[in-house]
Each structure stands twice: as structure tokens, then as C-alpha cells.
Amino acid sequence: MTPAGSLLEAHDLRKTYGPTPALDGASFSVHPGEVVAVMGPSGSGKSTLLHCLAGIITPDSGTVTYGGRELSAMSDAERSALRRSDFGFVFQFGQLVPELTCVENVALPLRLNGVKRKQAERTALEWMERLEVEDLAAQRPGEVSGGQGQRVAVARALAPSPKVVFADEPTGALDSLNGERVMELLTESARTAGTAVVLVTHEARVAAYADRDVVVRDGRSRDPEYAV
């Protein structure tokens, strides 16, 4: 049985790179507006699971279902379109575009979704205010600190009002104080907007910002939401 009312769910995912299985029967689910932490030792398959959930890589077997549609049944173009319209991403190192200013970076996903420049930058600024980095609008990513850049990245992920934000070690490069603040702002904004968050982290204090946690060990995860 699959978890009732879930937005995104994965069942029995397997993925092998060469001889090593990265995922070996992983299951997962997240409900709308829910923040779920994915925890586990290094190399256990957390990032691989996140990439499968987001349709960035295709598992060898198993299913990922988003809003009732199976990702593997979509074409590459459909999956990219879905990622642009419904998903947001935050990684360990902000991965902002160095040539663009911070506000242009935050506006970028909106622009890619066809929003006009002025409107996109207005929305981008609102999100930068919420993340307390509106003063950095005109700076380029090379001119801001790691913690500030990470807040800009969170604003960029949330600006297009995605249904799901995927965050892979979003505080990994930050000290405790900045890491906590980024988590506070990310979870608060996501909860207010009803956005689901899949949060990969090996830090318990970061995971404690989530509603619940799923542990991955040796490529296997058991989601307690799944009644066996």
C-alpha cells in the first residue's frame, strides 16, 4: 500500500553504478507542505535518492510517482518541464550563476518559466526580502559570503512557488549560526507557502527542523509511511 495523500513517492528504487549498488530498494514519500529529512552515513545513497525523486537520474528499477504520474513514463522534455515548473533546488554550494547579479539569479527560474523580466525581478526581490538578503540584489555571487549566497539560493528555489524543494546538504558549507538561520528561513517559508521539502543532511540539528526523517543505509531506506 502506498502512503495516502502523498505528493511525491518512490517505491523500491534500485540504481547501480558499475559493481556498486547506490540504491538497493529505497522507498520514500512526502506530502504537500511536509518537510522530510533524508539522513544516513556518507555514501549510503542519499543524493542518488534525491536525484531519482527529482527526475534528474532514472533508476534501474522501481517507480517514482509525482502527483499521480510516473516520472519514468514521461519524455525527457516533459521531465525537464516538470522540474522547471514544480521543483526547486538548493545544493551545498549555492550554484548561482556567477555572471548574473543576485536578483537576476533569483529571477532566473521565473524567467525560464516565461515570466516577464520586470515582474520576475519584483517577485525575486520579495523573496530576497523574506530571506533577509535584499541588500545584496545588485551584487554578484562572487561578492557575497557563503551564508548570504546560500540564502540567495534558497530565495531562488522558492521564488517560482514550487510544489517541492529538493535541498542536498544546504547548510553543509556554513557555520552553525548561519546554517540554523538558513534552515529557519527555508522551513518557515516552505511551510507558509505549502511547499514540500526533501532535505538531505547528515546533521541531526539540521534534520530537527523537519517534520520527520527517513534513514538511508547501504542504499536502502524504509519509509514508515509505507504500510507493508
Partner 1 sequence: MSIGHTLLGLLESGPRHGYDLKRAFDEKFGHDRPLHYGQVYATMSRLLKNGLVEVDGVETDGGPERKRYAITDAGITDVAAWLAQPEKPEPYLQSTLYTKVVLALLTGRDAADLLDAQRSEHLRLMRILTDRKRQGDLADQLICDHALFHLEADLRWLELTSARLGRLAEVVAP
Residues that bind partner 1 (CB under 8 A): 41, 184, 188, 203-205, 207-211, 213, 215
Among 111, 202, 217, 222, binds ligand ATP (CB under 6 A): 202
Alpha-carbon span 120 to 123, nearest angstrom: 5
Kindly state the smallest distance separating residue 208's Cβ from partner 1, in Å: 4
Among 47, 65, 171, 189, binds Mg ion (CB under 5 A): 47
Alpha-carbon span 111 to 114, nearest angstrom: 5
Alpha-carbon span 28 to 40, nearest angstrom: 14
Alpha-carbon span 158 to 61, nearest angstrom: 31
Spatial contact of 226 and 63, defined as CB atoms under 8 Å apart: no
- CB nearer ligand ATP, residue 64 or residue 115: 64
Kindly state the smallest distance separating residue 83's Cβ from Mg ion, in Å: 19
Kindly state the smallest distance separating residue 51's Cβ from ligand ATP, in Å: 8
45 scored as a contact of ligand ATP (CB under 6 A):
yes
Q: Interface with Mg ion by CB under 5 A: which range of 16-24, 44-52, 68-76, 115-123? A: 44-52
171 scored as a contact of ligand ATP (CB under 6 A):
no
What's the grid cell of residue 6? 502523498
Kindly state the smallest distance separating residue 6's Cβ from partner 1, in Å: 20
- CB count within 10 Å of CB 151 equals 28
Alpha-carbon span 17 to 45, nearest angstrom: 11
Spatial contact of 158 and 114, defined as CB atoms under 8 Å apart: no
Kindly state the smallest distance separating residue 4's Cβ from partner 1, in Å: 22
Q: Interface with ligand ATP by CB under 6 A: which range of 36-44, 61-69, 114-122, 174-182? A: 36-44
Backbone angles phi, psi at 6, to 5 degrees: -80, 155
- CB nearer partner 1, residue 103 or residue 131: 131
171 scored as a contact of Mg ion (CB under 5 A):
no
Kindly state the smallest distance separating residue 201's Cβ from partner 1, in Å: 12
Alpha-carbon span 74 to 64, nearest angstrom: 11
How much helix, strand and coil, in percent to the nearest 5, is found in the chain?
40, 25, 35
Contact residues toward ligand ATP (CB under 6 A) are 17, 20, 22, 40, 42-48, 202
Contact residues toward Mg ion (CB under 5 A) are 47
